[in-house]
């Protein structure tokens, strides 16, 4: 883009937007008790605005498994041991098996993976809901920041003409 075109106002508002999405997402994870080990909650830390030409993207760094918490999944077999951390943090007292014995974490991992293999998982769209709420809240501010930056650009063009 032209060197005269400065998008400081837009980038500042987009950074505020990203921070607001991050904070609301973390609040929703806590409110809906999706914290287990805290890995997903604590992974929501780096907010940035990437600019490439005329494209502006607000990005959050998240734990790789965020998609499986956020979106429904088709029936599939998760990798062996994939749920052991979650089991450790989330299941305080397992129910006895049919033989009356308490299952080991490895047995619980298998049983939960088998259930996912049959039924898939139901997503919890906390991030999607946070983005939608912040889109509404920031729509006017983003438009005003862009208008300010475009106005500044036009004033520079007229002044330099």
Asked whether the beta carbons of 18 and 49 are under 8 A apart, the reply is yes
- Tell me the C-alpha distance between 100 and 94, whole Å: 11
**What confidence score (pLDDT) does residue 3 get?**
60
Please give the average per-residue pLDDT across 26-43, as a whole number: 90
Looking at the chain, how many residues does it have?
Answer: 161
Q: Are 16 and 64 contained in the same domain?
A: yes
pTM: 0.81
Q: Are 88 and 64 contained in the same domain?
A: no
Q: Are 134 and 57 contained in the same domain?
A: yes
Q: Are 48 and 99 contained in the same domain?
A: no
Which secondary-structure segment (H or E) carries 66? helix 66-70
- Tell me the C-alpha distance between 11 and 123, whole Å: 31
| Span 93-151, pLDDT tens digits | 778 878 888 888 888 899 999 999 999 999 999 999 999 999 999 999 999 999 999 99
Domain that holds residue 102: 73-121
**What confidence score (pLDDT) does residue 92 get?**
66
Q: Are 57 and 127 contained in the same domain?
A: yes
Q: Are 157 and 93 contained in the same domain?
A: no
Asked whether the beta carbons of 69 and 25 are under 8 A apart, the reply is no
Q: Are 117 and 155 contained in the same domain?
A: no
Q: Are 90 and 58 contained in the same domain?
A: no
Q: Are 41 and 19 contained in the same domain?
A: yes
Q: Are 87 and 160 contained in the same domain?
A: no
**How many domains is the chain partitioned into structurally?**
2
- Tell me the C-alpha distance between 88 and 28, whole Å: 22
Average pLDDT, the chain: 90
């Amino acid at each position: 883009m032209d060197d005269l075109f400065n998008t400081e106002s837009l980038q500042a508002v987009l950074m505020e937007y990203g921070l607001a999405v991050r904070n609301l997402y973390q609040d929703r994870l806590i409110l809906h008790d999706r914290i287990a080990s805290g890995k997903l909650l604590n992974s929501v830390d780096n907010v940035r605005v990437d600019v490439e030409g005329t494209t502006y993207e607000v990005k959050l760094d998240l734990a790789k498994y965020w998609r499986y918490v956020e979106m429904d999944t088709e029936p599939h077999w998760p990798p062996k041991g994939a749920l052991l951390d979650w089991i450790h943090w989330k299941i305080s007292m397992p129910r006895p098996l049919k033989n009356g014995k308490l299952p080991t974490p490895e047995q619980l991992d298998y049983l939960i993976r088998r259930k996912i293999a049959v039924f898939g998982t139901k997503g919890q769209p906390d991030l999607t809901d946070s983005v939608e709420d912040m889109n509404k809240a920031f729509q006017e501010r983003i438009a005003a920041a862009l208008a300010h930056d475009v106005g500044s650009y036009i004033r520079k063009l007229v002044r330099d003409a």
